Amino acid sequence: MSQQPAEYPTRRPTDESYLDADRFDPPTSLLNLPWVDCHNHAHTLSWEDRERYSLSGCAAMVMVASGYHWTPYKPVAAEDVQFLWDDVINRKRAIERDHLFDANLALGVHTGVRIEDPDTLLDRMAEYSRLDDVVAIGETGITPAQHAESWALDEQRAVVGSQMELAADEDLPVILHTPNVGTDSGPEYRSGIGLPGYESNTSLVQEPVLTGENPALESVKIDVEVAADAGLPEDRIVASHADTNNVEYLLEETDCHVSFTVGYPWLTGIDATDVANTIEEYGPDRVMMDTDCANILKTDVFSVKRSILELYRQGIDEDTIRQVVLENPRDVFGLD
């Protein structure tokens, strides 16, 4: 028979008088700071995920329908992309009614997979872009390698350029999809498993159409060139998925805005520290954040909210955080 000790040592050796003398006194107003998610695909998430946006203070978002939130396993026709536009348009009001945030829309044609008849789509896009709910064109942008079917660079330029011309004509900003370099720190998986956390079918990734030393950066430079040809001012571009590979070019050599996608650091390596470093180096005037949450990818709805707290911990003041998560996206996308 085992013998029980007569007494348990329950007095914990903690004592407030031994805490560090420096008192951290964070402003509790950060808890209620409204924020804007300027790039997500919330219409593809669960109801509960959308509720989490509300509960964490997301006052407005830009729900993007263009196809990057999608990894088709086959070539794509114009109707397939138009379905994505119609789907988000038809659900927007019901989503807002349930969750209270303003759900604004961005519609676009992406180049991550070749589209069989892009001109049909681009012709129809003008009418769609004039809908009140549409606040941006995109996401779009040159892609170094496609999924399912390759798309030649000159054809991609034409598709991106037409959308930028339309944006200039309609005075809308463009959400630019910039390719991430990503991290190589992940584990090695068994073959056939793909990349856990991302529904992409890795065997369908095509040979790259950009083969230089830094195709991810080269893509962005071509986008900026295409914008100039299309008559779209650089300050009407929000370069999403900003990272350490492109942020210096974008903020030093262009007038583009940058948006850091903080929703899946396991894939991109990008988190609040990159945002803090960028604000410290270049100031907050052209910096934003987004979650890019979508149902094909392991993404975190709370990532912008967490980053708000983390930016403060890393020394960014409250007014600057407010500018980055609320005022900048409100002004660029013309939100109320």
C-beta of 12: minimal distance to Zn ion in Å? 47
Beta bridge partners of 140: 176
C-beta of 69: minimal distance to Zn ion in Å? 5
C-beta of 238: minimal distance to Zn ion in Å? 12
* Residue 28, helix vs strand vs coil: helix
Using rule CB under 5 A, residue 68 touches Zn ion? yes
* Residue 20, helix vs strand vs coil: coil
Using rule CB under 5 A, residue 35 touches Zn ion? no
Select 68 or 151, whichever has its Cβ closest to Zn ion.
68
From CA 110, how far away is CA 142, in angstroms rounded?
A: 8
Beta bridge partners of 60: 36, 102
Applying CB under 5 A, the span of 68-76, 108-116, 278-286, 312-320 interacting with Zn ion comes to 68-76
From CA 8, how far away is CA 34, in angstroms rounded?
A: 48
Site for Zn ion in 290-329 (CB under 5 A): 292
Applying CB under 5 A, the span of 14-22, 65-73, 215-223, 248-256 interacting with Zn ion comes to 65-73
Applying CB under 5 A, the span of 50-58, 63-71, 279-287, 295-303 interacting with Zn ion comes to 63-71
Beta bridge partners of 61: 37, 103
From CA 173, how far away is CA 175, in angstroms rounded?
A: 7
C-beta of 20: minimal distance to Zn ion in Å? 42
For 191, the enclosing helix (H) or strand (E) is none
Beta bridge partners of 238: 175, 257
**Count of residues in contact with Zn ion, rule CB under 5 A:** 2
CB-nearest residue to Zn ion: 292
Q: Is the dihedral of CA 69, 75, 78, 82 positive or negative?
A: negative
Compute CA 164 distance to the chain's CA centroid, rounded to the nearest angstrom: 19
Select 295 or 314, whichever has its Cβ closest to Zn ion.
295
Applying CB under 5 A, the span of 13-21, 60-68, 158-166, 324-332 interacting with Zn ion comes to 60-68
Select 44 or 129, whichever has its Cβ closest to Zn ion.
44
C-beta of 194: minimal distance to Zn ion in Å? 19
- The strand order across the sheet containing 134-140 reads 35-40, 58-65, 102-107, 134-140, 174-177, 237-240, 257-261, 287-290
Site for Zn ion in 255-294 (CB under 5 A): 292
C-beta of 315: minimal distance to Zn ion in Å? 29
* Residue 227, helix vs strand vs coil: helix
Give residues in contact with Zn ion (CB under 5 A): 68, 292
